[in-house]
Structure 1
Amino acid sequence: MVGRRNTKLQELLTEFGYTHAQLADEVNQVAERLFGTPAQCTDRHVRRWISGDVQWPWLRYLLPLQEIFGRSPESMGFTPRRTSRVPVLAPRPAAAPVKEHHPVRRREFIAVGLATVLGLDGIPVQGRLGITDVERIRAIVPALYRHDHQLGGGALHDVAAEALRRVQQALNQCSYGERVERLLYSAMGDLAASAGWFAYDAGRQEEAGRLYSQALQSGMLAADGMLQARVWSNLAMQARLHGRDQEALRIGRAAVGTRQAKNDPWLMTLLHCRQAVGYARTGERIRAERSLARAEKAYDRVQGQPAAWLSFLTPAEIAGLAGAAHHALGKYDRAEQLTADALAMLEPRFERNRVYYTAQRAQALLDGGRVEQAAAAAGTAVGLAGRVQSERVRDKVSALRHQMRRHAHVSTVADFLEQTRPRGA
């Protein structure tokens, strides 16, 4: 049965200057940017929406349409079914088509739509679980990490925590065999470790510690040594954040010694890089340099694609961590050079790391006495920082700005401080 023609959507296309094909392309681009995969929308879909043949599009189309037009589904002329889920987005004023979506809008959009895209409602809460259910749960973590690199943990930790809660509910209320049980604990631990990382990045350290403990317990119950080594690595980072460098090194050494690390060059590369930074912070130059060399040797052995949580480990990341180690050793020129190399190699998808390493380069320039160059780099870091929700990165940029105040007599620094002064300060 043909429904009533959707004149509101037709008017929006006219107002925004879209043809049917152009709107379909825009839906696909927004979906890919926000969810990691295109929506496979065509001009035929748009024609059916306007004709009224489809009165309520699938969510993979509806959410991008909301982002494009800044309207609720009803304001776009769609009629919900009784079973339809209506995502709520704060409306924005109608304007010309926006090809570059504002980062804040993008974060709001993901917070509303990601739980749906991840299929959290599809996780069973009763009945018997099988391998297919485990695979569906396993797919959550890679989807989350596709957004983590661009948005930061502040945009994702609540979604990850909700996913973890649903998996725990399934584990406690459903039935399953022994093999599925082990796989479930492994999947749940992977999700808990990821949620812990997002909380860590968002500055929620107490929550991160609790989630890491849960992930470690799940790893033990699943006999998943790789998961346990991953959690140890994250715990070492957290210890270092709190200034417990010796503890971080001890944890890192334990992780390096595991069979899983020895068998996985991706993991071994990361562990040696982080150990290098730890040794540098305690003034152990020879051990730091030895760890960097071992990291490079391990990276030479990597093949294929890493686990989702290690997808950030690229030559750019290795150079950036080497820069951090040299900075801790007081080798500021070398640190700046390595960090500049990291920024040059960094892929566009790693927005948070771009902010982080831009601030790291500015710090190296400042500590090396190149104050005017440091001010320019610091200004870039501040400008980029609004793109991500990472309290860890914000703290680094804020500390850098505070240190720049000692050089307020330099005109470029004075300009930087004035331009980046917090509102109301």
Structure 2
Amino acid sequence: MTTTRNTVLEAWMKEHGYSSNRLAEAVNTAIEQLTGRPGGHDGSSVRDWKSGRVRWPKEVTRRALEIVTGLPAAELGFVPRGRAQSAPAPQQEDPDMKRRNLVGGIAAAAAAAAAPGTAPRRIGMSDVDRLQARFADIIASDHRHGGQLGIEQRAAALADEALNLQNSGSATQRVRSRLYACAASFRSSAMWAAIDGRRYEDAQRHMREAQALAEMSGDQAIKFRIWSHAGTMYRHLGRPGDALAANDVARNLNLTRRDPLFASLGLARQAAIHGAAHDRSSTRRAFDQAQDAMDRADPETPRPVWLVAFYDQAELNSLALSAYLALGEYPTAEAHAHQCLSALRPYMARSRAIATTRLAHAQLAQGDADAAVASAMKVPASAATQHARVSRMLQEFGAALRATAHGSPVVQTWTEHTAAWRTSA
């Protein structure tokens, strides 16, 4: 059989500076995040992908590639078995249609399970594993796009699917607990998408449902995620007292005493809340403690995919950037912005847009309008026009720029740039 080179993957690697060995290492790390065991790929594996000798990697490898690149396998030039190489790339499915199809499928499955004369279905860990694989897809979509209504709706529908499984057959208590944990995970992702999209009433509705599901699951990791998200939501709403109370629920779970990485995230988010409340000494103390906990965390400890997919030194610096910007310590904020941007993983598109926008604010506040506009112009048009938090921060940036640099040529440059964004939106 003749093979066709995967020029799409080759182009992506060249654009992002990946050698075969480096991409193999990144994929192995992502596989470990997904499965708890490192992958076994090396440079020759990647060369097989590029040459076309392997046209459709195994499922876990495809999911790992999506985490690393932020793109589905088909958009990296891979071709599913049985499909011709020249087949066009699938069109993006409308989120509403996808949710209708999903809910329809759930209803059909439930009806089949309840049909008279049929043996009850046995629900097992394979069903849980299937849902967890789809949870990893939700996480990947969030890091690429963030805050989108389609992500929120898809996550909520998958939470419903997990709950429907509870009633579609028999299962052990262990499996039922894991299904509740899956439903809580999906609902917490719907909550986060709503927070990120500034749809706070929807976020609070998802939060209440996620909290109830998490209690039924007994899963401390997902409880931590939900309460930590609640702290972030209240911080964005300008309610630091409620934010600290919610974040304290997360930080007081036994999990944070067993795993320093959870403790570090709780402390870093606490520091960001202190920054929003203009408490300088508490902000610095909490960030010092967060850094110390991160330094003590064992990288070999198995952790949930949602945590390892985003929380690292770059995220800690991103939270510090937010806090010191709120405190008005602009040189410190700018330093954290550069540290964050230099360490962000390639697929963290949403986080990069937020950090870049905050960097522009920090530079403008120091009187460097040229550098600030140059930074702000690096934000992709898609994030500037479709991500609610980024869009609002850029509007505030434009207002501050016009107030501080009125009549300057750089204001005209920014005005023309944002006009081009509106045209392309």
Q: Normalising by structure 1, what TM-score?
A: 0.72
Using the TM superposition, give the Cα deviation of residue 176 of structure 1 relative to its aligned residue in structure 2, in angstroms. 1.9
* Distance in 2, Cα, partners of 1:113 & 1:149: 22
What amino acid sits opposite 1:324 in the alignment?
S
Q: CA deviation at 1:264?
A: 2.2
After superposing the two structures, state which structure 1 stretch, 284-293 or 140-149, moved more: 140-149
Counterpart secondary structure, 2:377: helix
Q: CA deviation at 1:112?
A: 10
Aligned counterpart, 1:105: none
Match of 1:137 in 2: 131
Structure with greater Cα Rg? 1
Matched, 1:319 2:314: no
> For residue 22 of structure 1, what is the aligned residue in structure 2?
4
| Residue 178 (str. 1) matches residue 206 (str. 2) | no
Q: Which runs of 5+ in 2 are unaligned?
A: 13-22, 32-45, 56-71, 114-120
Of 260, 283, 286, the residue aligned with 1:288 is: 283
The answer to whether the Cα contact below 8 Å between 2:271 and 2:323 also exists between their aligned partners in 1 is: yes
Query: Cα gap change, 1:65/1:419 in structure 2, threshold over 3 Å: closer, same or farther?
Result: closer
Higher alpha-carbon deviation: 172-181 or 259-268: 172-181
1:2-401 → structure 2 map (5 Å cutoff): 21-22=3-4, 26=8, 89=91, 108=92, 125=110, 126=113, 127-154=121-148, 156-303=151-298, 304=300, 306-310=303-307, 311-381=309-379, 383=381, 385=383, 389-401=386-398
Matches of 1:113 and 1:40, distance apart in 2: 33
1:224 and 1:347, CA in 2 relative to 1: closer, same or farther beyond 3 A?
closer
SS at match of 2:142: helix
Structure 1 partner of 2:20? none
- Alignment CA distance shift 1:64-1:409 (3 Å): same
Give the CA deviation at 1:124.
Answer: 5.9
d(CA) in 2 for partners of 1:137, 1:192: 13
Q: Quote the Cα distance in structure 1 between the aligned partners of 2:392 and 2:142.
A: 18
How far is 1:186 from its partner? 1.4
Contact 1:152 1:389 in 2 (8 A): no
- 1:274-318 CA deviation, whole Å, 9 max, x = no partner? 111111222211111110011001101222354222221121111
Moved more, 240-249 or 176-185: 176-185
SS at match of 1:184: helix
Contact kept in structure 2, 1:27 and 1:64, CA below 8 Å: no
Provide the C-alpha distance between the structure 1 equivalents of 2:270 and 2:74, rounded to a whole number of angstroms. Answer: 46
Matched residue, 2:68: none
Give 5+ residue unaligned stretches, structure 1: 1-18, 47-62, 79-86, 90-107
RMSD, aligned α-carbons: 3.9
Q: How many residues align?
A: 355
User: Which residue of structure 1 aligns with residue 117 of structure 2?
Assistant: none
Q: TM-score w.r.t. structure 2 length?
A: 0.72
- Look up the match of 1:417: 415
Give, in angstroms, the shift of residue 384 of structure 1.
6.7
Residue range with higher mean Cα deviation, 270-279 or 374-383: 374-383
Q: Does residue 1:404 correspond to 2:416, yes or no? A: no
Aligned to 1:15: none
Amino acid in the other structure paired with 2:319: L
